[in-house]
Structure 1
């Protein structure tokens, strides 16, 4: 079994690699990666509701949509992402247990006992350290999760604090109190030391050999990054239709948005000015004014 460790910190590249392994491999494998500061929303979520986009844009924090469901997560170099890929060989049921058991067992090396929650997540006492999501197409599955070791909790809060009142379809995130593993280990390690040891223990548990993306896998991923994961058509416009209550140029308005574009505003003058404009551009405009 391959335990593939990404040498890249670009979230768009790693999300693309994850999709490459999902679509172009038939083997069971584990893919491990870390990203620079970024916000990743679930496939069926409204990114405008989940993420403070003006803050992210103004602070050069990436935002992307992934192919799996579930809620929004914040990534940075203090967070590890673990992705199990399988091809089913019997009647399939979504089963997070192998991923959860894998993380629980690997963390025991650091004298930490994790508690499994009711939503396929992991906790230290009542504070969350791991969230999970899955994606299934025919007989190919991904179950993946995060592991907080030393994430920037203040930055996480700023990125995920959306002050607007937004209504519409879409999967809403379930907010939880979080903690970092580093706050609970008896002998705190640097991020590099912790993740290096963690990966070695994963390989032992899985009886897997540590590997890296091949040139062909990376080439395919780069094409996918450029044609999907860096485009507003996927990251923003895939959001379901919604209405937002907001103040525009001093006026209280209700804005109707579809495929990332403003379709109508209940104020006639504002509607004439902004209809057809991207909602992202309106958010930046109102932030500036």
Structure 2
């Protein structure tokens, strides 16, 4: 984010996750101004764009507790959120200036926390931490020349819900000291004397002062209709939220420094007939395009290399080189579903 660059502040009282994510998509694709928004969801499992939804949460527990399940536009991992914590959104032009794209968006949030005396810092690929505990995870989605950056701020948490609702892939914790999601998170409430609504107002006030925001933006009736259309066609849709499952003959999950990746391949007579690339990674282009490029190729090094000519895998899976993808695919050859 540019220093002191004017933003539009969006007032959004909705706690419906499908509406909230539809609103984000509308703002990203229809407004040219930079945007800032703070909002909340009722108890919700938020699935990363590239994940296998049904492998990420306990369906029985979620159904019993009436927890919503929504897939967001951005990559990254699955999270649980509710009215004890909050989400924030920043939308601005994409600038490839060599900086960490997450850091420059998260920096004002870190500043807002430090203003309260909280010793927050940006760490890893997309986290804000306090005393080594994660208090915010962030994700991004790029559309044309604009980027949607959003994150969760863990003001307080329902640790039981997190522990029982989320079902992360055990490969994620291989060689890690931390063995669960709940054990590595912290909360902001223990550092301040305010409730979550007061904290939201503090965050809005910080951004308004920092970026010179003077007024809020309200959707017109035609904009609201478009948000409702997006909500209905995407974020209320089981096919978007849960995905469509295909038959596959080979499955392989692996953890890289840039994220978890799962390969689901339907291979017949040595040829990839259908491919899916799943995980909590980030990328600037739709990984479905990359998966389609794999289909029709023999599962061997030479043909996969030819099939990826002219393709930068890093555009689809940030941090991954073409050779690493091929190595993973060849490793999948030795597995069976």
Both structures adopt the same fold (TM-score exceeding 0.5): yes
Report the secondary structure of 1:198's partner residue: helix
Distance 1:71 1:95 in 2: 17
What residue in structure 1 maps to residue 219 of structure 2?
214
Change (3 A) 1:138 1:218: same
Query: What are the within-5 Å matches in structure 2 for residues 49-64 of structure 1?
Result: 49-64=55-70
What is the aligned counterpart of 2:229 among 219, 223, 227?
A: 223
Report the secondary structure of 1:209's partner residue: coil
Report the secondary structure of 2:119's partner residue: coil
1:200 aligns with 2:205: yes
Structure 1: which 5+ runs fail to align? 166-173, 244-255, 259-289
What residue in structure 2 maps to residue 184 of structure 1?
191
Distance 1:140 1:239 in 2: 31
Distance 1:154 1:242 in 2: 34
Report the secondary structure of 1:98's partner residue: helix
1:139 aligns with 2:136: no
Change (3 A) 1:164 1:111: closer
Residues 35, 77 of structure 1: 8 Å contact kept: yes
Q: Which ranges of 4 or more aligned residues in structure 1 deviate by more than 4 Å? A: 89-94, 162-165, 238-243
Report the CA distance between 1:120 and its aligned residue.
2.1
Distance 1:78 1:26 in 2: 32
Distance 1:241 1:18 in 2: 33
Distance 1:90 1:126 in 2: 29
Change (3 A) 1:110 1:78: same
Report the secondary structure of 1:115's partner residue: strand
Change (3 A) 1:164 1:95: closer
What is the aligned counterpart of 2:155 among 137, 143, 149?
A: 149
Change (3 A) 1:151 1:206: farther
Per-residue CA distance 1:178-206 (angstroms, 9 max, x = gap)? 01100122x3x122122112211121112
Residues 17, 217 of structure 1: 8 Å contact kept: no
Change (3 A) 1:143 1:241: farther
What residue in structure 2 maps to residue 69 of structure 1?
75
Report the secondary structure of 1:71's partner residue: coil
What residue in structure 2 maps to residue 111 of structure 1?
117
Report the CA distance between 1:25 and its aligned residue.
1.5
Query: What are the within-5 Å matches in structure 2 for residues 196-275 of structure 1?
Result: 196-215=201-220, 216-238=222-244
Report the CA distance between 1:72 and its aligned residue.
0.8
1:129 aligns with 2:135: yes
1:44 aligns with 2:66: no
Matched residues, number: 238
Query: What are the within-5 Å matches in structure 2 for residues 92-111 of structure 1?
Result: 95-111=101-117
What residue in structure 2 maps to residue 270 of structure 1?
none
Distance 1:183 1:22 in 2: 34
Distance 2:158 2:67 in 1: 13
Report the CA distance between 1:5 and its aligned residue.
2.5
Report the secondary structure of 1:154's partner residue: helix
Query: How large is the Cα RMSD of the aligned pairs?
Result: 2.9
Q: Select between 207-216 and 48-57 the one with higher mean Cα deviation.
A: 207-216
